[in-house]
Structures are given as structure tokens and as C-alpha cells.
Amino acid sequence: QGTRDHPPAQAALRERLLSAVVSCFKRHGAAAIDTPVLELRETLMGKYGEDTKLIYELQDQGGELLALRYDLTVPFARYLAMNKITNMKRYHVAKVYRRDNPATTRGRYREFYQCDFDIAGQFDPMIPDAECLKIVHEILTDLQLGDFVIKVNDRRILNGVFAVCGVPESKFIPACSTVDKLDKVPWEEVRSEMVGEKGLSPEAADGIGEYVQLHGGLDLIEQLLQDPKLSQHKLAREGLGDMKLLFEYLTLFGITGKISFDLSLARGLDYYTGVIFEAVLLQQENQHVEESVSVGSVAGGGRYDGLVGMFDPKGRKVPCVGVSIGIERIFSILEQRLEASGEKLRTTETQVLVATPQKHLLAARLKLISELWDAGIKAEMLYKKDPKLLKQLQYCEDTGIPLAAIVGEQELADGVVKLRDVATREEVRM
């Protein structure tokens, strides 16, 4: 349940999509790593907040307690700590596992690919963070998915908001996961969850409400830097200062047009410590309505400066920032678009079919195809002793093979091959 086979047409589309993402990661100088699908259970515990219950656990095999990885970020942090690496730019494309309620029509599965790019190391502020946003911008532009916006916020600003509104520190993380729902439900519902389930005071909730409904650009940053309450909070001030720097760098990259500083963005995971971001596609729901509607997140990430330290025996920290591309949702969109266009994606790359027009010529076909393979040419033949020529040409048309190399008795006698263009039916002897 919640998993799927990928038949050839899907596998081919997926290969095309992954290769676009990976070539962007390589363009930014990342190296690949690979880690096991299995991790020790204890590695994954306490990293995913309320979602820890979604981790797939393996049966005790009389040795180690194992689980399937939930994302690629925690294994990366574990890898850095284990190998005492303090500086690395890596990408990783692999499957992750969540024992979630699958919603396969919306592209939510229990097994799915993630494509992650992360920069680990102690650097000057916001330069790697800006590159992560540039990468999201490049990929979404490259894939031509239509209009999008990248929402940006900072956990320090959010914590500052909670603090100045009188929320006790122990409730920051629960408050965070409630705020995170603002992109799906209206403020009133979020407010009532805060007061009801999370036990915040109504005054605190109202105070938070005034902040988290704000979004804008550099102007909003400046405004909040002047905010009498928020500007008194040390971490919030640092966060706002970094946000200003980030916008400066993004201006040099020429991408601020797609960036929105959005105080409602919280992201669910425990491990973020600084900048957080999320890209959503915008869709004109109705031609007559001006407003555009979000069709969901297709990339997200942020800064997690404390995660690597959790795996180091001495707690040594390695600051990290990274982005994960939501390949499954993008795949669903591309798949629907391909279907609508009626375009048929070839599932093989075969260049030529080796064919014979008469019987008793299997040996000639085997000899010729062997020569073609040895010359590096992608070639197929039908696995029949005496196939009909029509069937052979039909196979070319069905599978998109552009050429047929035909050897008949005459060609054998003359020491030539007849090369036929399947589409135009033109033939040359060679």
C-alpha cells in the first residue's frame, strides 16, 4: 500500500526529470554520496517531531534495531559526524520511507524519491543559504512548471515572535507546527488549535496572529527591524539582519521577483535553526479570478546547525543548510502534462532493428547484430527464427526504432545491407 511500480514510460520520464535535477546539483559543484536505506533506529529517533511515528521499523533480527530512513538529511548529518567531516557540498538522490496515510492521487506515497543538496561547513553568513534558493529557482525554471513563489522565513524570527508574544520556550516547537498549517487552513482554525490543543493563552495567540499573517520583501524586513517589540529580541534581530543580507545576495542573483519573506512559514521538522524556505507552484485557478492558488510545495529546506552535533560524541557542531526537491509532486505534474499532450515518450533508445525478408536467415541476423553491438550501436532483432518482414517493420513503428537494417538473400550475395528509414520508407544499400 502506498508504493508503486514504475513501468517503462514512467521510468523514462523519471530518468529525464532526475537528470535535470542532478545536472543542476552538479552545476553547483556538489559531489554525490550514497548511504544505506537502513539506519539504526536510534539515529532517527527525536529528529522528526510528531512525525516520528511514521518511521518504518524492521523486525529485530537478533542484533541491531533498524529502521528505514525517513529522509536524506539525518543520514547526511550522521555521515558527517561519523567521518568527522566539517566541510562538504553533496547531493543525494534516493528513496525514503514514511508509514503515512498515502494520498497517491496527490503524489503522496510511502516510498518516494528525494533529491537533496546540502552545504556543510562554517562559512560567512547567508552565502550558502542564498545558493540553495538559487538552485530551487534554477530547477523550477528549467522544468517549466509555471509560476512559483519561494517563501522564506527564519526560525529565529519565529521564535522571537513567540517570545515577545509571551509563549514559554517549551511551547515553541508545538506552536511552530501549528503555525505551519496556515498555508492549508485559515487563521481562525490555527488560533483555536493554539489555544485549545497547544495551551497558549488567547492573548499570545492573537499576538502571534498579527505577525504570522505578514509577508513581503525588503520593506517588511526593515519594518520588523523597527518593530518596538521584535527588535528587542536578540535572536529575532539576528534573524532579521541575516534575512536582509539574504535579500541582498538574492538581488545580485536576480531572483527576488520569486521570493516572499513570509512569517507564516514554519516547517514541521525539529532540526531547523535558521533560515527556512519552501517553494510552491501557483496556478491560475480560474481565468476570471485574479488571485492565484497554491498547488502545494515542490521544494523545501533550511538551515540546521545543530543536527550534526547530535551525532558527535563530543557534540561538535557543523553548520548545514540544504534543500530537498519534491520530485514526486513534480513528477505527477509532468506526467499529467505528457498525457494531455498525447506525446509518447520512447522507453528504449534502440537505433536500428536487424531484419530479414526471407526464411532461413537467422544466422545472418545474428552475425550482423553482433557486429553492430560490438560497434556500440543500439540494435535489436525479433527473437524468432523466421519472422515476417511486416511484423519486423511494425515492431519498429510501435517502439519508435528509426532504422531497419535488412539482410536478404540478394544482400547476402552482394555483401551489402539495405538500410531503411522506417518513417519515410527510403532505402539505401550499403
Question: For residues 369-398, which are near a copy of itself according to CB under 8 A?
Answer: 370, 373-374, 376-380, 383-385
Does 57 participate in binding a copy of itself (rule CB under 8 A)?
yes
The one among 310, 334, 362, 419 contacting a copy of itself by CB under 8 A: 362
- Indicate the residue among 100 and 227 with the shorter CB distance to a copy of itself: 100
Q: At closest approach, how far in Å is the CB of 35 from a copy of itself?
A: 5
* φ, ψ dihedrals at 417, nearest 5°: -125, 140
- Indicate the residue among 2 and 296 with the shorter CB distance to a copy of itself: 2
Does 27 participate in binding a copy of itself (rule CB under 8 A)?
yes
Choose one: 161-169, 184-192, 341-349, 416-424; the region binding a copy of itself (CB under 8 A).
Answer: 341-349
Annotated binding-site residue? 271:
yes
Other beta carbons within 10 Å of 355: 26
Which residues in 123-142 contact a copy of itself (CB under 8 A)? 123-124, 127-128, 130-131, 134, 138
Task: List Cβ neighbours of 266 (8 Å cut-off, separation of 6 or more).
Answer: 153, 158, 176, 177, 179, 180, 182, 276
Does 82 participate in binding a copy of itself (rule CB under 8 A)?
yes
| Cα gap 299→116, rounded to integer Å | 10
Residue with cell 545543530: 306
Contact 331, 17 (CB under 8 A): yes
- Indicate the residue among 91 and 277 with the shorter CB distance to a copy of itself: 91
Return contacts of 85-88, CB within 8 angstroms, 24+ apart. 85/120, 85/318, 86/120, 86/121, 86/122, 86/318, 87/120, 87/121, 87/122, 88/31, 88/118, 88/119, 88/120, 88/121
Which residues in 88-107 contact a copy of itself (CB under 8 A)? 89-90, 95, 97, 99
Annotated binding-site residue? 72:
yes
Q: At closest approach, how far in Å is the CB of 362 from a copy of itself?
A: 8
Residue with cell 547531493: 91
Which residues in 174-203 contact a copy of itself (CB under 8 A)? none
- Indicate the residue among 130 and 179 with the shorter CB distance to a copy of itself: 130
DSSP-assigned letters across all residues of 189-209: HHHHHHHTTS---HHHHHHHH
Q: At closest approach, how far in Å is the CB of 68 from a copy of itself?
A: 8
Annotated binding-site residue? 316:
no
Choose one: 83-91, 147-155, 267-275, 296-304; the region binding a copy of itself (CB under 8 A).
Answer: 83-91
Which residues in 1-20 contact a copy of itself (CB under 8 A)? 1, 3-8, 10-12, 14-15
Annotated binding-site residue? 374:
no
- Indicate the residue among 225 and 377 with the shorter CB distance to a copy of itself: 377
| Cα gap 217→256, rounded to integer Å | 8
Which residues in 221-280 contact a copy of itself (CB under 8 A)? 249, 252-254
The one among 367, 394, 397, 414 contacting a copy of itself by CB under 8 A: 367
Annotated binding-site residue? 98:
yes
- Amino acid in the structure at residue 281: L
Chain-centre distance for alpha carbon 158: 25
| Cα gap 85→215, rounded to integer Å | 37
Buried b / exposed e over 139-175, threshold 16 CB at 10 Å, is bbeebebeebbbbbbbbbbbbbbbbbbebeeebebbb
Q: At closest approach, how far in Å is the CB of 69 from a copy of itself?
A: 11
Strand 88-97 relative to strand 31-32, pairing:
parallel
The one among 317, 347, 408, 419 contacting a copy of itself by CB under 8 A: 347
Total site size for a copy of itself, rule CB under 8 A:
75
For residue 118, the cross-strand partners are 90, 322
Q: Residues marked as binding?
A: 71-73, 98, 114, 118, 267, 271-272
Annotated binding site for L-histidine: 71-73, 98, 114, 118, 267, 271-272
